[in-house]
Structure 1
Amino acid sequence: MAEKENFTEKRSTRRNFLKNSGLTLGGLVLGGAVTSLVVKNNDGTTTTEHEVSHSGGTTTNYNHALMFFTPAEYQTAAAAVERIYPEDENGPGAKELGAAVYIDHQLAGQWGNNVKDYRLGAFYKPAENQGPQTKLLRKDLFRAGLAALDAYSKENYGAVFTGLEPEQQDEVLTAFSEGKVTLYGNTGSGEFFSLLRTMTIEGVYADPMYGGNNEMKGWAMRKYPGSRMQYVNEIQSDEFIELKPEGLSSHMS
């Protein structure tokens, strides 16, 4: 009986410790260091990590804390997604919407580790309808692609990707989309760019719970009402009703 009580006490103490001293993000338990990590920006200034996804100021939304990228990788990814989905008269671009944070969270989880994929080979050059055939994990492919963006930019323009003019960044991304750069073995830059583009669009329009679509502005541009539970009142109206977007978090209060 004493052993059982002792085990229960230890389990309770550990649960209380995690509850009081850490944060749970996507199944990962993170301690207070989440808010104390410092990011050095290209202009020499610094911001805490939970500020990274916003260019306009501080946020306390810990869905925006980095889980996979280094600060430098994050800045490269943020610059790249902004060129794929740039800010215009319709609304904010992918950087402000947090697409790079969404990508970071996906790469840190099962998807980034190809958990549900068959990976025992053999690996052949695929036909156009077969998709990528590679031994690389998605997280490793993405990390290699970001490093290659900087290397290619330095070689051809004399600066890392984030230091280039927007037009030059577009030229670099175009070269990657056309498969002109080799990453590892037979893995070309086209595979990385395709993944980058897909993840950018997902980050712009996914539920904010996953790190992107900051303040549901991506949905607002499309006049998409979000994940509402029902439309009983709206469908009975003869007039079109424009609804303010709601995310998954609105169902959890």
Structure 2
Amino acid sequence: MAKRVKKFSRRDFLKTSGVATGALIGGGILGGLIGYNSKNATTTPTETMHGGHTETGTSDKGLMFFTSEREFQVLANATERIFPKDDLGPGAIELGVPYFIDSQLAGQYGSNSKEYMQGPFAIGAPTQGYQSRLTRAEIFRQGIAKMEAESSSRFDKGFSDLEGAQMDEILTAIQKDEIKMEGTTSAFFFRLLRTATLEGAYSDPMYRGNNNMDGWRMKEFPGHQMAYINVIDKAEFQKIEPQSLSGKH
């Protein structure tokens, strides 16, 4: 393997933000990721570039929650700024993260159907659990609308028409809770967005993220193997071709 030039990378961020190899610890903040790798835009066969921003088509996957292509593009570009393509591998868009979030919002995750959603409601501490009367689906819709409104106010453009640094400015303001939201806080929305982005990058591909298991490949995570009986006694690290719950390699 060719020797890589040492610089701040996505792998460094994942190490310092509580994401262990093969597992996710959600609920953290972005830390120093926004602003790094900002020149690394991602394209896939279903994307086109216009003046520095990425427009994502619905491909053959289709949308399950979003009814507006513009909303979906805002989500896609936001996830790409959080998890950008770099020299280690693909970013959020190429990994299918926007489609993962779309499908999650269309299901029980988006409706909070398995969680206690009765009052009283109060703004809790970051270490506390879900504190909003709104469902995740409602928070995501409002958060995306706030990104569009803030982009129009600051730059007289839609979020997906911004340059990377301008997108980072909006996302940083949301992370720092500088943008007012109803029924929740922008900081909480950002935590949901960041956590969902990481989950989509490393989830099993059967959930429409982690395309080609490339998220696992970047971390040399084997996925879901039937057994390790042939290698369990070996002292050296074993690089194993990952496998999905669907049985695909």
- Residues in 1 aligned to 2:186 and 2:85: alpha-carbon distance in whole angstroms: 25
Length-normalised TM-score, structure 2: 0.74
- Residues in 2 aligned to 1:68 and 1:223: alpha-carbon distance in whole angstroms: 32
- Runs (4+) of structure 1 exceeding 3 A deviation are 39-43, 46-49, 236-240
- Residue 103 of structure 1 pairs with residue 137 of structure 2: no
- Residue 127 of structure 1 pairs with residue 136 of structure 2: no
| Count of residues in Structure 1 that have an aligned counterpart in Structure 2 | 199
Length-normalised TM-score, structure 1: 0.73
Task: Give the secondary structure class of the aligned counterpart of 2:137.
Answer: helix
Counterpart in 1 of 2:228?
Answer: 231
- Residue 168 of structure 1 pairs with residue 170 of structure 2: no
2:214 to 213, 217, 223: 217
What is the root-mean-square deviation in Å for CA atoms of aligned residues? 2.3
Q: Per-residue displacement from partner, 1:62-120 (whole Å, max 9, x unpaired)?
A: xx331001321111111000000111111111111011111111100011101011112
Higher Rg of the two aligned structures? 1
Identical-pair percentage: 45
Task: Give the secondary structure class of the aligned counterpart of 1:159.
Answer: coil
Q: Is 2:56–2:76's contact at 8 Å kept on the other side of the alignment?
A: no
Task: Give the secondary structure class of the aligned counterpart of 2:181.
Answer: strand
Q: Structure 1 or 2: larger helix share?
A: 1
Counterpart in 2 of 1:205?
Answer: 202
- Residues in 2 aligned to 1:120 and 1:238: alpha-carbon distance in whole angstroms: 52
1:73 to 71, 74, 77: 71
Deviation at 1:237, TM superposition (A): 3.6
Counterpart in 2 of 1:195?
Answer: 192
Deviation at 1:239, TM superposition (A): 4.3
Deviation at 1:238, TM superposition (A): 4.8
Structure 1 residues 235 and 143: CA distance shift in structure 2, 3 A: same
Task: Give the secondary structure class of the aligned counterpart of 1:248.
Answer: coil
Counterpart in 2 of 1:28?
Answer: none
Higher RCO (Cα < 8 Å, 6 or more apart)? 2
- Give structure 1 stretches of 5+ with no counterpart: 1-38, 52-58
Q: Is 1:66–1:105's contact at 8 Å kept on the other side of the alignment?
A: yes
Counterpart in 2 of 1:182?
Answer: 180
Counterpart in 2 of 1:11?
Answer: none
Task: Give the secondary structure class of the aligned counterpart of 1:150.
Answer: helix
Q: Structure 1 or 2: larger strand share?
A: 1
- Give structure 2 stretches of 5+ with no counterpart: 1-45
